[in-house]
Amino acid sequence: MSRGKVVLAYSGGLDTSCILRWLLDQNYEVICYMANIGQDEDFEAARRKAEQIGASQVVIEDLREIFVKEYVWPAIQAGLLYESRYLLGTSLARPCISVGLITAAKKYNALYISHGATGKGNDQVRFELSCYSLWPDVKIIAPWRIKEFTSRFQGRQDLIKYASLNNIPVPVTPKAPWSMDANLMHVSYESGILENPNNEPPHDLFHMTQDLAKTPNEPFKLSIEFCQGLPVKVITQDAQVFDKPLEMFTYLNQIAGKHGIGRIDIVENRFIGLKSRGVYETPAGHILHVAHTDLEVFCLDKEVYRVKQNLKEKLSDFVYNGFWFSPEGEYVRKCIALAEETVTGKVNMEVYKGNVVVLGRWSPVSLYNEELVSMDKHSEFSPSDATGFINIQAIRLKEYHRFQKQQNK
């Protein structure tokens, strides 16, 4: 008798195919769920594979538009950056996919969600916290944390053997000596030979960005327009215009990728307290981040900017740790959106040989006052005021000096 229905986050790969089979062995009915968030995948082949293995249902959903509008856009608006460098490409995809999983579970009356994320990683946390937030009663089956499963499948060879025995097609090309995860925003690489943080990443690693040596020898100019902190238009030097989120983002990936933009190689702190090395390429995300950062300082009041930056630091951690759906995640996103109400304008830039060069910026409503700051005009500014300003600031410093002398007596 069936133990119930499971919605499995299915990728079509060896791992989740074996998990599918194993769940069936455990007498679950399995619905495979695949989200298209822009990864390079033959979804129909994966569907056939899942059906052949025994999935009672295969759901393939195109979440690309939603992913860009509801996850990537707010991240750009907030300026999210984890530990000074990581644009959170994977972290943003997980809550997006989780909504799909939970929606499918409710639709098909499944009580369980299962996934192939491993026990040392961040993704298990992100998937599960998102799911619990969305539907507290859901039950999660995480095979890589279940003893029966992990003792049976101790390495890749065990999976291949099991696949062969169960007529699951085994990949003919040998696995790359690293693992990767791809979506519209980025491809990430980790594990295998990358685990040694001193190993240089191989040149054939990258998928979205061209090697610098092979990028065009001419720079390419484009402008990005933002409204309330959100990207609304891309205009290129050859007069192309993109103003739909998915189109804009896809175009920026293409042009930035062609110019070798957005690669990083970092060590990061995982939520569970391990340090891990990751290599990422985030072409469109990188160019949008640079443009947004530029416009934000241009438009925001100095002190509002500081409060908002502080909130951004917190939100970056929340999102990385899997708390996109959480009281604090929702609250801080609302606060940041409030600050961004005045981040509206255009940034002109040039992409070239891996560089995003800002050339200028303009806003209909900036706090920048050319008249006031000009060295050639006094405008309303009275220079003698600065004397008082400095003298008052100096009071505390002079007192400290007095104090130090007093102490040293």
Residues 227-286 that bind its own copies (CB under 8 A): 263-270, 272-277
Measured in whole angstroms, the distance separating CA 220 from the mean position of its chain's CA atoms is: 25
First-to-last C-alpha distance (Å) of the chain: 87
Residue 384 tokens, joined: 């003698």
Return d(Cα 4, Cα 110) in angstroms, integer.
7
Residue the block writes with tokens 């130090």: 404
326 included as an active-site residue: no
Residue of 48, 152, 158, 179 marked catalytic = 179
**Residue choice 43, 132, 228, 247 for contact with its own copies (CB under 8 A):** 132
Return d(Cα 239, Cα 78) in angstroms, integer.
29
Looking at beta carbons only, is 134 or 176 nearer to its own copies?
A: 134
Shortest separation between residue 355's beta carbon and its own copies, angstroms: 4
**Residue choice 119, 240, 243, 254 for contact with its own copies (CB under 8 A):** 119
Looking at beta carbons only, is 108 or 325 nearer to its own copies?
A: 325
Return d(Cα 108, Cα 7) in angstroms, integer.
9
**Residue choice 84, 91, 182, 205 for contact with its own copies (CB under 8 A):** 84
Return d(Cα 202, Cα 293) in angstroms, integer.
31
78-87 burial, b at 16+ Cβ within 10 Å, e below that, comes to bbbbbeeebb
User: Residue 383 interacts with its own copies (CB under 8 A)?
Assistant: yes
Note whether 305 and 340 are within 8 A (CB). no
Contact pattern from residue 210 through residue 229 relative to its own copies, giving x for each residue in contact according to CB under 8 A and a dash for the rest: --xx-----x----------
Judged by CB under 8 A, the stretch of 62-70, 132-140, 224-232, 246-254 that binds its own copies is 132-140
Measured in whole angstroms, the distance separating CA 72 from the mean position of its chain's CA atoms is: 7
Note whether 58 and 50 are within 8 A (CB). yes
Shortest separation between residue 361's beta carbon and its own copies, angstroms: 6
Reported in sequence order, the residue ranges of 243-397 that DSSP labels E, i.e. its strands, are 263-269, 275-281, 345-352, 355-362
382 Cβ neighbours under 8 A, 6+ residues apart:
none
Q: Per CB under 8 A, which of residues 4..33 are in contact with its own copies?
A: none
123 included as an active-site residue: yes
42 included as an active-site residue: no
Judged by CB under 8 A, the stretch of 5-13, 62-70, 242-250, 329-337 that binds its own copies is 329-337
User: Residue 120 interacts with its own copies (CB under 8 A)?
Assistant: yes
Q: Per CB under 8 A, which of residues 140..159 are in contact with its own copies?
A: 142, 144-147, 150, 155
Shortest separation between residue 144's beta carbon and its own copies, angstroms: 6
Measured in whole angstroms, the distance separating CA 82 from the mean position of its chain's CA atoms is: 9
114 included as an active-site residue: no
Contact pattern from residue 170 through residue 199 relative to its own copies, giving x for each residue in contact according to CB under 8 A and a dash for the rest: ---------x-----------xx--xxxxx
Judged by CB under 8 A, the stretch of 31-39, 68-76, 95-103, 297-305 that binds its own copies is 297-305
Note whether 242 and 224 are within 8 A (CB). no
**Residue choice 6, 68, 125, 234 for contact with its own copies (CB under 8 A):** 125
Measured in whole angstroms, the distance separating CA 265 from the mean position of its chain's CA atoms is: 15
Q: Per CB under 8 A, which of residues 39..68 are in contact with its own copies?
A: none
Active centre residues (catalytic)? 15, 94, 123, 179
